[in-house]
Amino acid sequence: MAYFMVMGGLLLSVSFTFGWILWRSGQWALGRLPGSKSAARRKQRPKRPATPKKATPRKAPASKAAASKATSAKAKPRKPAATRARKPAKPAEPWGLTVWLSHWRFAVPLSLLASLLYGLTRLAQFGMTQRPSEVPAGYHALVSVLGWAAVGLLGLAAINLLARWRCYRASNR
């Protein structure tokens, strides 16, 4: 009886997960069609103009003596490290991969669902081993695969949360 309950719960959660993935994929595909709201928003975003860098022409000194005089004249005495004021470094813009990863909203709930499901199947596995009857052959392998999937999804959720934090920090400068 416990086997059927656990396998039924597993089947229900897997079918729910695939249904949710199909639903979100359908929403994404419909949002990419011309005439949709998100396609109109993508067109309204202003593009950042490219800022050309100005090149300063350099003149070569006539001789080595003239070059050493020019460099010594330009050299300034250094202030001690304590009196020099350092400007805080401005954080760089997040990479495209970081921005792409930050938009994955499914990672946290899916990892929590997989972890909960793994915990319940592990509890059922312990209960089945305490009974005198045999546990089905593939059940232990199923619990192991579910555990590794939960660990992988938790890692993906951690990366997703870090990417969202990085993009949030970059946007609030």
Q: How far apart are CA 93 and CA 99, in angstroms?
A: 10
Work out the pLDDT band at 150, boundaries 50, 70, 90: very high
2 vs 117, residue with greater confidence? 117
State the chain's mean pLDDT as an integer: 77
Q: How far apart are CA 141 and CA 102, in angstroms?
A: 33
- Check residue 112 and give its pLDDT: 87
Q: What's the full length of the chain, in residues?
A: 173
Give the start-to-end residue ranges of the domains of the chain.
105-173
Report the range of poorest mean pLDDT among 22-26, 63-67, 98-102, 153-157: 63-67
C-alpha distance from residue 102 to each of 111, 153, 157, 163 (Å): 15, 15, 10, 5
Query: Would you give the DSSP letter of residue 159?
Result: H
Q: How far apart are CA 69 and CA 76, in angstroms?
A: 13
Q: How far apart are CA 128 and CA 138, in angstroms?
A: 13
Whole-model pTM? Answer: 0.51
Could you identify the residue written with the tokens 């928003």?
41
* Torsion angles phi and psi, residue 100, rounded to 5: -65, -45
Whether the CA torsion 36, 41, 43, 44 is positive or negative: it is positive
For 49-60, what is each residue's pLDDT tens digit? 656 656 565 555
